[in-house]
């Protein structure tokens, strides 16, 4: 069992210091509650406003921001998932997520494959690498970002690599309530793993966020769900729940990929 903490909060676009104080306060609370890991929303340290972040954020600041996030994890002794822009070798920008252990060491990095909307596609490039899986506090853990989780192939790719928990920083606007309430539960059920989905709340520039963060169990039930304001969720991640779900209905074992290939894309 691992206690997972999830932060739903409102960021201030390009006010890194204010956003870091918010993360630090939540990391302190998570550690005090005995959580092994804190999940934060997409691009939270810089705020979610793709065009403004791309034009207003000096990429030379990114290493210092990452160091400060590692310091938060290390100071509070809690694992941390954060999301930041990253500059690629050819000068392009991607949206990334990083998993740190309780000593602030990087355990896993992931770059967003499915970009949503014109502003995001204009500011960032889409990655191609499949989600990797690592052992974290005894749990096989993977990362996706926001729109990625709305594609069943992405979660199934993590599940096929053994994932028992998929952590998803997101930035979901109002009007898409079905994503956390229906789709996240379906992803957890069909791949029989835990899915934690951490969203912004309130308004950031032109974006009005839904909130509605959730943590879903391998049987599709909700372990925790947030409203539309700042909130912190906690849920136990149970390997026994994964095992029971996969034994009850063996979706992963009874897949027939050789047949699906004949069906086409």
The pLDDT value given to residue 239: 98
Dump the DSSP string for 185-231. HHHHHHHTSEEEEE-BEEEETTEEEE---EEE-TTS-EEEE--SSSE
- Are 136 and 99 within 8 A, CB to CB? yes
pTM check: above 0.85: yes
Q: How many CA atoms lie within 13 A of 58 on its CB side?
A: 3
Helical axes 62-76 vs 16-32, angle rounded to 10°: 20
User: How far is the first Cα of the chain from the last one, in angstroms, to the nearest whole number?
Assistant: 38
CA distance 80 to 39: 6
pLDDT band, residue 265 (cuts 50/70/90) = confident
Q: Is the dihedral of CA 196, 38, 225, 20 positive or negative?
A: negative
CATH topology for 2-253 is: Nitrilase/N-carbamoyl-D-aminoacid amidohydrolase (3.60.110)
Q: What is the pLDDT of residues 202-229, one digit of tens each?
A: 999 999 999 999 999 999 999 999 999 9
Q: What is the pLDDT of residues 124-158, one digit of tens each?
A: 999 999 999 999 999 999 999 999 999 999 999 99
Q: Give me the residue spans of the domains in the chain.
A: 2-253
Q: What is the pLDDT of residues 46-64, one digit of tens each?
A: 999 999 999 999 999 999 9
CA distance 16 to 14: 6
Residues written for the chain: 265
């Amino acid at each position: 069992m691992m206690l997972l903490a999830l932060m739903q909060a409102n960021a201030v676009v390009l006010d890194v210091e204010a956003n870091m104080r918010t993360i630090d306060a939540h990391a302190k609370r998570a550690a005090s509650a005995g959580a092994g890991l804190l999940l934060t929303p997409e691009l939270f340290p810089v705020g979610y406003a793709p065009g403004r972040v791309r034009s207003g954020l000096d990429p030379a600041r990114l290493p210092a921001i990452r160091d400060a996030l590692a310091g938060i994890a290390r100071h509070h002794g809690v694992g941390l998932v954060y999301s930041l822009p990253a500059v690629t070798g050819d000068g392009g920008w991607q949206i990334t997520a990083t998993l740190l252990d309780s000593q602030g060491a990087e355990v896993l990095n992931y770059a967003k494959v499915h970009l949503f909307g014109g502003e995001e596609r204009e500011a960032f490039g889409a990655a191609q690498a499949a989600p990797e899986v690592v052992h974290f506090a005894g749990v096989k853990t993977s990362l996706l970002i926001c729109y990625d989780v709305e594609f069943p192939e992405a979660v199934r790719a993590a599940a096929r690599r053994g994932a028992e928990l998929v952590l998803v920083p997101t930035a979901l606007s109002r009007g898409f309530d079905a994503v956390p309430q229906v789709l996240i539960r379906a992803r957890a059920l069909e791949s029989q793993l835990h899915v934690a989905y951490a969203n912004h709340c309130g308004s950031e520039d032109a974006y009005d966020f839904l909130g509605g963060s959730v943590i879903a169990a391998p049987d599709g039930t909700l372990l925790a769900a947030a409203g539309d304001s700042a909130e912190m969720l906690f849920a136990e991640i149970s390997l026994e729940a994964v095992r029971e779900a996969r034994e009850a209905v063996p979706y992963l074992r009874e897949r027939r990929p050789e047949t699906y290939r004949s069906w086409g894309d």
